[in-house]
Structure 1
Amino acid sequence: MIDQIAIGLCGVTAVFLSQDKRESRRRYACLFGLASQPFWFWMTWKAGQYGIFALCFLYAFSWVRGFYGYWIKRGSV
């Protein structure tokens, strides 16, 4: 139950922020997206949904790209 709540809250927040017109808010989308990933991995593995489990790696990679672009690379400039 906690897994589903965390996925719902973090996932919806990530999508909502990713569509914000302000970059200052959009940059937080990847943080919420990354926060939901452990719950996605756990839920799909536990349910035996191995195709979705594999997709979780692609989603996590995408959120990491955003994290790198908004937080790591930007901070080093």
Structure 2
Amino acid sequence: MIDQIAIGLCGVTAVFLSQDKRESVRRFACLFGMVSQPFWFWTTWHAKQYGIFALCILYAFSWVRGFYVHWIKREAA
């Protein structure tokens, strides 16, 4: 039950923030996306949905990429 709530809250928040006009707000989308990923991994593995589990790996990579672009690289510049 907690995993479903976390996926719903964090996942929807990540998508919502990613569509904001302001970059200062959009940069937080990857943080919420990364927080939701462990719940996605657990849920899909537990349900034996291995295709979706593989997609979760790609989503996680995308959120980490966003984190690098908006937080790591930005701070270095």
Aligned to 1:38: 38
Cα distance in structure 1, aligned partners of 2:21 and 2:59: 22
Cα distance in structure 2, aligned partners of 1:15 and 1:28: 10
1:24 paired with 2:28, answer no
What RMSD over aligned residues (CA atoms) do the two structures have, in Å? 0.3
Cα distance in structure 1, aligned partners of 2:70 and 2:53: 26
Amino acid at match of 2:2: I
Shift of 1:40: 0.1
| Identical pairs, percent | 83
Q: How many residues align?
A: 77
Identify unmatched segments of 5+ residues in structure 1: none
TM-score, with structure 1 as normaliser: 0.99
Amino acid at match of 2:56: C
- Structure 1 residues 1-77: aligned runs within 5 Å: 1-77=1-77
Cα distance in structure 2, aligned partners of 1:31 and 1:56: 15
Cα distance in structure 1, aligned partners of 2:22 and 2:54: 32
Cα distance in structure 2, aligned partners of 1:54 and 1:15: 20
Amino acid at match of 2:46: K
Shift of 1:37: 0.1
Cα distance in structure 2, aligned partners of 1:4 and 1:64: 22
- Consecutive aligned runs of 4 or more in structure 1 exceeding 2 Å deviation: none
